[in-house]
Structure formats: structure tokens, C-alpha cells
Structure 1
Amino acid sequence: MTISTDPSTPAPGPAETGGDLLTAAGARIEEGSFAIIDAEAGSHDYDPAQWTLVRRLIHASGDFDFNGLTRFHPDAIAAGCAALKRGAPIVCDVEMIRAGVSKTRMSPLGVQAHQFIDDPEVIARARAEDTTRATQAMRRAAREGLLEGAVVGIGNAPTALLEVIRLIASEGVRPALVIGMPVGFVAAAESKDLLMRVETVPWIAVRGRKGGSTLVVAALNALMILS
């Protein structure tokens, strides 16, 4: 189904914008931004919950290409929201994501965010095995049992996403949701293409080279608002 947006589309309410965390002036600015995005985005094929997330990617980046580049496994939104409602951990590839996710939104859900890329053990293993720190960080999360049932957010390192895909395929690890949005020129697009072929675990991905930690933060915050 194609959903058309135009200037007459009602502004999103506080539950959709997260306006309960903003001052009145801040909420008006955010609602105005979303109204402009709705007016300028044109038609799209996303359902309302998916559009809530895509609109936040556009809001975070100023880039309307995410209307189209963003792809969803059919169960992605439901799986992500259900996981966050039960307090599942968020596992990130970099500190920027962990620091950026709203603590005010995580706290009522009992959610904690984790990253291991700066861990001395991870760095040592990466050097010893001639891999990236991002690869070893995901292996560390798997050893600690954090990936099982988790919401995984990858916005920086394609090798982290490739390792998560390997763990799913070869070791039976089952995150609740994988948000794959690594940015870059080496293996970024390819890693996301592989993710979009995964059938056993729900995912949200951005096709091509575009992506970034800011987008993953926006996606996670959108899921917590929807939760």
C-alpha cells in the first residue's frame, strides 16, 4: 500500500514524537520538523510504525534518501518493540551509539546498552587474531550471552555486522532484532545486503553506503517511543 503525505497531514502527537521528554518549545520545533518531513517526503510504502522510524532517520540526517533506502523485515518493528518492553539489552558496535540512546527512555523499560570495542581483552584478541576490534566485540557480547534476545545496533563497523550475521548462521545466536546501518565504502553495502537475506532474525537495514551511528540512535529511540 502506498501512503501519501501532504501538508494537510496532522502533526504527530507527543507519543510519536517523544514530546514528553521535551520542553513545550522544543516539542513545537520537533513537531514542526516532522510536519515538514511529511510534506516534503512524498509517497512511500511504509506502514505507520515503519514511517515513524524512517521519519526519525530523515530528521536525524536531513536526508530524504532514507525514504526508500530503509528496509524492514516483516517482523522487525514488532520484534524490536517486544524485546525493549521486556528489558532486553541493546548491544552497540561503538560508544557513540551507547552514549546517544536516550537514558530517559531506557530507564522505564529496564533497558541497558552495551559496547565492548574499547575493552582491553577485545583489543588484545583483535591484535592476536588479526581481526578488527568490532569483530571481537561482537564475539565478546556473544560469549557473555548478551546477543541472545538483544536488540543489536550497528552504525559504524561493517565487520561487526558481518560477525553478527556469521554468529546467526553458524552458531545459532538469535538476537531479537538487528539494526544494520554501518556507513562506509569497504563492505558497508555488502554487509547490509547479506543482512537483508537473513530470514531467521528480524532486521532493519539501510541499503547502500549511507548509514551511521546517529541513524542507529534515531532508530532505537523511535522503537522505544513505539514501545
Structure 2
Amino acid sequence: MSFKDVIWQPQEIERESMRQVAEFLLPLNLTPGEKAVVGRIIHTSGDPDLGAQVRFHPQAVVKGLEALQAGVDIYTDVTMLQAGINSRRLAELGGQVHCAVHSLEVVEEARERGITRSAVAMERFGNRLNGQVVAIGNAPTALFALMRMIKEGLQPALVVGMPVGFVGAAHSKELLSQMDVPNITLLGTRGGSPLAAATINALLYYK
């Protein structure tokens, strides 16, 4: 084993990582804002192939940036995603992150109805989601519940839909990509809270 080529300096590691990520972005037809999002997704996942699977509504980046700069809140499906979003930066803009999956009322209702807590939490947020950013990184059921509310008239500023898994995840994201609501999604079974958080953080720091 040889250690002679190891890069130890944090700044140099960051520079070299972003240089390689930039090369993976070259074949993709993306706007600068979309490149910032996809770059963070690739950097977070270590998987260059994900870049071609990210889908953007035409107004996703513009509307998302407008909303965040205006100080809106972010609503998430799970606490892991809530923890991954840079709450300090969001607070500087005037917003905060919400997650209700562990609320006693949500837990009890989910048990009574026999559905996921994430879906119940999303339903309970209800009209509070109008004009806000919604990020889903784990539960397809939360995304299905959100899309049903959108069809009934709810209007979030941006939906980041990246649930992960083999039951409902791919289908939920395919449906989201076809909706006329600003959204960013990752097609297929891959996804997860780290990638949804990376997407939000890319927008929070975009200039």
C-alpha cells in the first residue's frame, strides 16, 4: 500500500473534488443554477451517473431561489433531512426547517389509519405549505400525499422530491416530474435525505 499520492490538505481536497465534478457536468445541458444543484448531488453521492437522472421543472431553480431569498420555511418528511439542511444559512435568510414526523398527534393518527407517519405529517402541514419549500428525501407516501394536495389546489413554491427505495419511490418521482409545479427530482429508485439536503443547500448558497 502506498500513501504517496494521498491529498491531505482540506482546501486541496475540495478543489480537486469540484474540478472532477465540473468535468462530469460538461455533457449535461444545464443552466448555471441547475449545475450547482447537480454538482452537489454528485459530490454528495460520489456517483457521477446520477447527474443524468436529475429532472428540473423549467421554473424550479428560479422559483426556489426567489422563495428562499424571501425567507420562506422548509418542510421535510423526516428528521434526517431536517438535520441535513443548513439551518444557520436558512435562518440568515429568515426561514426555518419543520418536521412533524415525531409529533404525538402524527404518531397516533398514523397508527389509527395504518399509514406512514410521513404521509400524515405532510397532510397535517396542509395549507401551511402554500408558498413554501417542501423537501422529501425518504418516504414516497409523503410525496404521494403532497401531490394529492397539490391536485386539490395547494401551491408550494418548490418541491424537492427524492424519496428512496423500491416500493413507490420511482413511481412517485415520475409523477412529480410530470406535474406543473416547480420541482426537482431524481428519477428511479435512488435518492435519500442526503441528496435532498444537498439540493436545498445548493440553492441556499447559490449566488
State TM-score, norm by structure 2: 0.92
DSSP 3-state at the match of 1:71: strand
Any conservation in 2 of the 1:152–1:179 contact (CA below 8 Å)?
Answer: yes
Any conservation in 2 of the 1:89–1:146 contact (CA below 8 Å)?
Answer: no
- Percent of pairs identical after alignment? 43
Alignment match, 2:3:
none
Any conservation in 2 of the 1:91–1:151 contact (CA below 8 Å)?
Answer: yes
Superposition pairs of residues 203-218 of structure 1, within 5 angstroms:
203-218=183-198
- Count of aligned pairs between the two proteins: 199
AA paired with 2:201?
A: N
Alignment match, 1:85:
69
Any conservation in 2 of the 1:90–1:151 contact (CA below 8 Å)?
Answer: yes
Distance in 2 (alpha carbons) for counterparts of 1:29 and 1:178: 32
Distance in 2 (alpha carbons) for counterparts of 1:41 and 1:85: 26
Match 2:156 to one of 157, 175, 182: 175
Match 1:49 to one of 8, 11, 33: 33
| Deviation (angstroms), 1:134 | 1.0
1:9-37 Cα deviation digits (max 9, x unpaired): xxxxxxxxxxxxxxxx6444323211111
State TM-score, norm by structure 1: 0.84
Superposition pairs of residues 135-154 of structure 1, within 5 angstroms:
135-142=119-126, 145-154=127-136
Alignment match, 1:8:
none
Any conservation in 2 of the 1:91–1:146 contact (CA below 8 Å)?
Answer: no
Alignment match, 1:6:
none
| Alignment partner of 1:116 is 2:100 | yes
DSSP 3-state at the match of 1:146: helix
DSSP 3-state at the match of 1:183: coil
Alignment match, 1:17:
none
AA paired with 2:161?
A: G
Any conservation in 2 of the 1:116–1:122 contact (CA below 8 Å)?
Answer: yes
Task: Name segments (4+ residues, structure 1) moved above 3 Å.
Answer: 25-28
| Deviation (angstroms), 1:41 | 4.7
Any conservation in 2 of the 1:58–1:64 contact (CA below 8 Å)?
Answer: yes
DSSP 3-state at the match of 2:159: strand
DSSP 3-state at the match of 1:65: helix
| Deviation (angstroms), 1:67 | 1.4
Superposition pairs of residues 156-195 of structure 1, within 5 angstroms:
156-170=138-152, 172-195=153-176
AA paired with 2:62?
A: A
Distance in 2 (alpha carbons) for counterparts of 1:41 and 1:152: 26
Distance in 2 (alpha carbons) for counterparts of 1:161 and 1:31: 35
Alignment match, 2:6:
none
Structure 2 unaligned blocks of 5 or more:
1-8
| Alignment partner of 1:225 is 2:202 | no
Any conservation in 2 of the 1:73–1:203 contact (CA below 8 Å)?
Answer: yes
Distance in 2 (alpha carbons) for counterparts of 1:191 and 1:159: 8
| Deviation (angstroms), 1:38 | 1.6
